């Protein structure tokens, strides 16, 4: 068999080989992201209820991981390009386990201040750990099944991420109630090692980074900023729902906020399960534009909602719309970056989600203070309009033959 034929087969894998190539990596993402999702509801209870610190301190302990992740994105992407995705995963997962060990060590310290410092260091360490193993698994998946399946890679691994974050909350609360924060910490320490055991069974891919470095991060940003910014804007409604939907229901004395959030999750996961192939098949630009339009309709319904049924429908539509934005924008972003800098491109692209997660709460919180909870979803609608304008302008530039 000729080299050309081999390359052709590798670039056009069958559905079975795609599943075989992605499922182990999806399992790694799921088990590893549980170590991020499980501590989230337990940390406030521990820092405030056990250690006795204020809500402001709780916010810093919870939020510092996101800032740490953002700051480590460039390093993790470059490391993945230079040393290969398996190496990035093999470094990130033990780092996450060490973060869990620091969580556990903090529970053994009697002095509350010293315990908080050790816990804070663990949270700082979890940021680059997440950045390394997520960049590695995403890049590894694209390398295993081919660039033309980028949308499917991002869709499947996105399901694993959100499923782990969603399941992590009730699991974390249950562990906290029965075993205390020490049980949460021990679980956080063990889960990455499960992912590491799976990674050890998989064949490594060659590092594609060039000697002397690949494309500079500034150049990567120039190539993908439009798609990353569109992703960040379209992720704002998700952050708004997770932060403020329950308060909207409580303010209006409505019941069923949990059902509405479940509807968001059902719409999000359902679309990804059945339509994850669309960005690869018909193009990320078209799928992304339609997705954000659906998301916009959901936010407008939430803004104008007068009863829980209308609000629930708006939440469902938001989940359906948001579902394919990440893979749609990812397909377009990855297509513009050379293979030897793909890890840096993945890391830079993911940083836009971190940016949305970090900024949405404070910005929208100010709007709510002035105009009430309905303004949160109007802000989400405006973000969707801006994302849609970015996508449409990119499509117009592409038709005109200019770089998007």
Residues 216-230 have pLDDT tens digits of 677 777 777 888 889
Same domain, 264 and 317: yes
Interatomic CA distance for residues 268 and 163, integer angstroms: 10
145 or 312, higher pLDDT: 312
Interatomic CA distance for residues 333 and 284, integer angstroms: 9
Q: Which of 146, 175, 200 is the last residue of a domain?
A: 200
284: in domain? yes
Same domain, 191 and 229: no
The answer to whether the beta carbons of residues 265 and 319 sit under 8 Å apart is yes
384 or 14, higher pLDDT: 384
The answer to whether the beta carbons of residues 348 and 217 sit under 8 Å apart is yes
Contacts (Cβ under 8 Å, ≥6 apart) of 195:
27, 28, 29, 31, 32, 89, 93, 133
Same domain, 362 and 261: yes
Same domain, 52 and 78: yes
pLDDT at 399: 61
2: in domain? no
Interatomic CA distance for residues 378 and 367, integer angstroms: 10
Q: Tell me the average pLDDT across 130-143.
A: 87
371: in domain? yes
12: in domain? no
Q: pLDDT band for 2, please (50, 70, 90 cuts).
A: very low
Mean pLDDT of the chain: 82
Same domain, 103 and 230: no
Same domain, 128 and 244: no
First CA to last CA distance, the chain: 39
Dihedral sign from CA coordinates of 222, 223, 227, 232: negative
CB neighbours of residue 114 within 10 Å? 11
Same domain, 359 and 239: yes
7 pLDDT above the threshold of 50:
no
The answer to whether the beta carbons of residues 158 and 150 sit under 8 Å apart is no
**Range ranked top by mean pLDDT from 152-161, 241-250, 373-382:** 373-382
The answer to whether the beta carbons of residues 285 and 394 sit under 8 Å apart is yes
Q: Supply the angle between the helices 374-399 and 308-322 in degrees, to the nearest 10.
A: 30
**Long-range CB contacts for residues 22-25, cutoff 8 Å, separation at least 24:** 22/141, 22/144, 22/145, 22/152, 22/153, 22/156, 22/157, 24/198, 24/199, 24/201, 24/202, 25/137, 25/140, 25/141, 25/144, 25/157, 25/202
Q: In CATH, what number is assigned to the domain containing residue 378?
A: 1.20.1250.20
Q: Which of 166, 200, 234 is the last residue of a domain?
A: 200
Contacts (Cβ under 8 Å, ≥6 apart) of 194:
31
Same domain, 177 and 297: no
210: in domain? no
Same domain, 149 and 221: no
Look up the pTM and report it. Answer: 0.71
pLDDT at 208: 62
Domain tally, the chain: 2
Interatomic CA distance for residues 234 and 357, integer angstroms: 11
Same domain, 259 and 374: yes
347 or 46, higher pLDDT: 46
Q: Residue 195 is part of which domain span?
A: 18-200
Q: Which two tokens stand for residue 250?
A: 């409580």
6: in domain? no
In 3D, which of 330, 264, 258 has the Cα closest to residue 294? 264
Q: pLDDT band for 277, please (50, 70, 90 cuts).
A: confident
Structure-token match 């060590």, residue found: 105
Interatomic CA distance for residues 34 and 125, integer angstroms: 16
**Percent of the chain whose predicted confidence (pLDDT) is above 70:** 88
13 pLDDT above the threshold of 80:
no
5 pLDDT above the threshold of 50:
no
Q: Tell me the average pLDDT across 272-281.
A: 82
Count, residues in the chain: 404
211 pLDDT above the threshold of 70:
no
Q: pLDDT band for 214, please (50, 70, 90 cuts).
A: low
pLDDT at 299: 94
Q: Which two tokens stand for residue 278?
A: 């669309």
Q: Tell me the average pLDDT across 355-375.
A: 79
196 pLDDT above the threshold of 90:
yes
Same domain, 51 and 104: yes
Same domain, 82 and 140: yes
Interatomic CA distance for residues 346 and 55, integer angstroms: 34
Interatomic CA distance for residues 320 and 278, integer angstroms: 14
The answer to whether the beta carbons of residues 97 and 36 sit under 8 Å apart is no
Q: pLDDT band for 147, please (50, 70, 90 cuts).
A: confident
Q: Supply the angle between the helices 15-37 and 150-200 in degrees, to the nearest 10.
A: 70
13: in domain? no
pLDDT at 120: 93
Dump pLDDT digits (tens) for 305-343.
899 999 999 999 999 999 888 888 888 887 777 766 767
CB neighbours of residue 230 within 10 Å? 29
pLDDT at 55: 66
196: in domain? yes
pLDDT at 292: 93
Q: pLDDT band for 114, please (50, 70, 90 cuts).
A: very high
C-alpha pair distances (Å), 127 with each of 92, 183, 311: 10, 21, 34
Q: Which of 150, 169, 200 is the last residue of a domain?
A: 200
DSSP helix/strand/coil, 262? helix
Per-position DSSP letters for 14-39, written without gaps between them: -HHHHHHHHHHHHHHHHHHHHHHHTH
In 3D, which of 245, 231, 345, 241 has the Cα closest to residue 292? 231
Q: pLDDT band for 282, please (50, 70, 90 cuts).
A: confident
pLDDT at 1: 35
């Amino acid at each position: 068999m000729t080299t050309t034929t081999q390359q052709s087969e590798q670039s056009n894998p069958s559905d079975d080989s795609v599943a075989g190539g992605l499922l182990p990596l999806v399992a790694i993402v799921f088990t590893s992201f549980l170590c991020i999702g499980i501590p989230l509801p337990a940390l406030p209870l521990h820092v405030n209820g056990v250690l006795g610190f204020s809500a402001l301190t709780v916010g810093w302990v919870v939020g510092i991981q996101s800032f740490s992740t953002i700051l480590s994105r460039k390093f993790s992407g470059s490391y993945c390009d230079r040393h290969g995705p398996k190496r990035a995963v093999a470094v990130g997962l033990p780092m996450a386990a060490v973060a869990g060990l620091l969580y556990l060590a903090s529970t053994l310290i009697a002095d509350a201040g010293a315990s908080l410092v050790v816990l804070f260091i663990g949270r700082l360490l979890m940021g680059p750990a997440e950045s390394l193993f997520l960049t590695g698994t995403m890049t590894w998946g694209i390398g295993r099944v081919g660039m033309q399946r980028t949308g499917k890679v991002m869709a499947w691994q996105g399901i694993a991420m959100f499923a782990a974050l969603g399941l992590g909350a009730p699991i974390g609360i249950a562990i906290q109630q029965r075993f205390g924060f020490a049980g949460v910490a021990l679980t956080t320490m063990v889960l990455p090692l499960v992912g590491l055991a799976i990674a050890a069974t998989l064949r490594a891919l060659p590092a594609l980074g060039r000697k002397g470095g690949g494309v500079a991060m500034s150049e990567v940003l120039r190539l993908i900023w439009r798609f990353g910014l569109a992703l960040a804007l379209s992720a704002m409604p998700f952050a708004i729902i997770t932060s403020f939907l329950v308060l909207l229901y409580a303010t209006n004395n409505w019941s069923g906020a949990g059902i509405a959030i479940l509807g968001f999750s059902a719409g999000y996961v359902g679309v990804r399960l059945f339509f994850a192939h669309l960005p690869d098949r018909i193009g990320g630009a078209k799928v992304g534009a339609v997705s954000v339009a659906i998301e916009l309709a959901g936010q407008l319904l939430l803004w104008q909602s007068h009863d829980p049924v209308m609000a629930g429908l708006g939440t469902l539509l938001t989940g359906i719309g948001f579902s394919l934005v990440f893979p749609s924008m990812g397909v377009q972003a990855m297509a513009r970056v050379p293979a030897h800098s793909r890890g840096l491109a993945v890391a830079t692209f993911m940083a836009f989600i971190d940016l949305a997660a970090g900024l949405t709460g404070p910005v929208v919180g100010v709007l709510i203070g002035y105009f009430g909870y309905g303004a949160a979803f109007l802000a989400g609608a405006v973000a969707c309009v801006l994302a849609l304008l970015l996508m449409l302008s990119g499509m117009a530039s592409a038709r005109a033959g200019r770089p998007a």
